[in-house]
């Protein structure tokens, strides 16, 4: 009896630890020719849902075969960058320099904080699909959904002012390092950017 109490005492608090699964032989190293200039980022809590349901082949039966719905809520970090190897054009325009650069690109995959990620699943009826595969599906589709949202015009516009400031600061610093004295401010124009 004393042994059972001792086992129960030690078994009630599970021991958790991380496992290293990175195999150095399977690492793929990638290089970005010319590199990128990170020009802006925004963090936003995103919510995404995924629904699955069985269907009746002969009749409509939505009330009988209810859906299983999973919702995920994550704090995503959308990072925007400009390729340094691309052509940048600096032209004097009277009281300023105009610097034309490529539009910022969303860095994918989009990063998100896993420590505060929330997943909730509801099954609408006893004939709904199982919850576990639906939860896996919502997580599997999270990356593409965040990439789609981060490339939307509203997200691009939200970070545009900060991106312009970052590029202007980078250009002025570069001009100073090249020996030029930029007496005029640098105004950034993204090629192909929405004029609004």
In a domain, 14, yes or no: no
Q: Whole-model pTM? A: 0.76
Residue range 46-99, pLDDT digits in tens: 999 888 877 777 666 666 677 888 889 999 999 999 998 888 888 888 888 899
In a domain, 20, yes or no: no
Domain with 145, as residue range(s), is: 33-191
Phi, psi of 140 (to 5 degrees): -65, -35
In a domain, 144, yes or no: yes
Going by the DSSP 8-state scheme, the letter that residue 5 receives in this structure is H
Residue range 107-142, pLDDT digits in tens: 999 999 999 999 888 876 667 777 788 788 888 999
The count of domains in the chain is 1
Q: Read out DSSP for 122-183?
A: EESSTTSPPHHHHHHHHHHTHHHHHHHHHTSHHHHHHHHHHHHHHHHHHHHHHHHHTT----
In a domain, 196, yes or no: no
In a domain, 12, yes or no: no
Query: Binning pLDDT at 50, 70 and 90, where does residue 9 land?
Result: low
Task: Look up residue 67 and give its two tokens.
Answer: 């859906």
Percent of the chain scored above 70 by pLDDT?
Answer: 79
In a domain, 142, yes or no: yes
Q: Determine the Cα–Cα distance for residues 151 and 20; give it in Å rounded to an integer.
A: 34
Q: Determine the Cα–Cα distance for residues 53 and 173; give it in Å rounded to an integer.
A: 57
In a domain, 174, yes or no: yes
């Amino acid at each position: 009896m004393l042994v059972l109490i001792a086992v129960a005492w030690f078994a009630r608090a599970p021991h958790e630890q991380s496992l290293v699964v990175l195999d150095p032989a399977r690492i793929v190293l990638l290089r970005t020719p010319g590199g990128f200039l990170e020009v802006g980022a925004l963090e936003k809590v995103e919510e995404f849902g995924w629904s699955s349901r069985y269907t009746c082949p002969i009749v409509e039966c939505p009330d009988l075969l209810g859906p299983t719905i999973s919702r995920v809520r994550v704090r995503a970090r959308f990072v925007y960058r400009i390729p340094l190897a691309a052509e940048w054009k600096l032209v004097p325009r009277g009281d300023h320099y105009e610097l034309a650069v490529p539009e910022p690109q969303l860095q994918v995959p989009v990063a998100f904080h896993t420590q505060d990620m929330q997943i909730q699943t509801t099954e609408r009826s006893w004939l709904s699909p199982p919850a576990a595969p639906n939860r896996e599906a919502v997580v599997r589709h999270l990356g593409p959904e965040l990439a789609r949202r981060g490339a939307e015009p509203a997200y691009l516009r939200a970070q545009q002012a900060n991106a312009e400031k970052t590029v202007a600061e980078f250009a002025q610093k570069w001009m100073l390092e090249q020996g030029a004295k930029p007496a005029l401010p640098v105004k950034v124009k993204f090629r192909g950017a929405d004029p609004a």
